[in-house]
Amino acid sequence: MKRLIDLIGSIALIVMLVIPMIILFVLIRKKIGSPVLFKQVRPGLKGKPFMMIKFRTMTDECGPDGKLLPDADRLLPFGQFLRSSSLDELPEIWNVLRGEMSLVGPRPLLMEYLPLYSPEQARRHEVRPGITGWAQVNGRNAISWTDKFALDVWYVDNLSMWLDIRILWLTVRKVLIRDGISAEGEATMPAFMGSGHLNREDKQ
């Protein structure tokens, strides 16, 4: 049932948003540059890798050492707008159509985080990752990794159609008020250092 809703929903969204997405494509190429799409391998259901697609929000500017500058230095005002409005997530509808993601589920994080999860945290991969999720409507990037993973696992344990509908409704509200866009003092979210690191932070 969830996959059927994802399939119908993704097709409907593509039809409705095709013109706005073309406009965004042109604007991003003009204001940020090419490539317009940001592609990165992320873990999906059961941790299986897939290529996630988003609109680009950062430049590829490097420092004198040839390494990428920090996120805050590469995140232009237009890119910040795309993130705060969640418009950068729109191409992920294609991932939903392909069955790699769901409209609702834990957000797909980085592949290098996989060996850092505790067994409980790793349960977030028991369902397909989503464009939005329970953690996103309960703090987004403004909450700690500990809380985020706890919310993801809670979603896995309480999965239902009505919960997905509630999350989609709350997502619209969150996007409109632009709440929880980034962690305090960060352009986006600090890197996850592992469950052991979280435990040491909780004791301090």
Model pTM score:
0.85
Question: How much is the average pLDDT of 137-153?
Answer: 89
Distance CA 39, CA 12 (A): 23
Which helix (H) or strand (E) element contains residue 174?
Answer: helix 161-177
Q: In this model, does residue 202 exceed pLDDT 80?
A: no
The Cα 59–Cα 33 span in angstroms is 7
Task: Return phi, psi of residue 8, to 5°.
Answer: -65, -45
Q: Is the dihedral of CA 11, 13, 19, 23 positive or negative?
A: negative
Closest CA to 82 of 59, 56, 108: 56
| pLDDT of the residue at 190 | 78
Q: What is the pLDDT of residues 35-76, one digit of tens each?
A: 999 999 999 999 999 999 999 998 888 888 878 887 778 888
The β-bridge relationship of strands 130-132 and 102-104 is: parallel
Q: What is the pLDDT of residues 9-38, one digit of tens each?
A: 999 999 999 999 999 999 999 999 889 999
Domain boundaries, the chain: 2-203
DSSP-assigned letter for residue 119: T
Please give the average per-residue pLDDT across 122-133, as a whole number: 96
As a whole-number percent, the residues of the chain with pLDDT over 90 amount to: 65
pLDDT of residue 68: 80
pLDDT the model gives residue 199? 45
What is the spatial distance between Cα 150 and Cα 146, in angstroms, rounded to a whole number? Answer: 6
Q: Contacts from 14-19 at CB under 8 Å and sequence distance 24+? A: 14/93, 14/94, 14/97, 17/90, 17/93
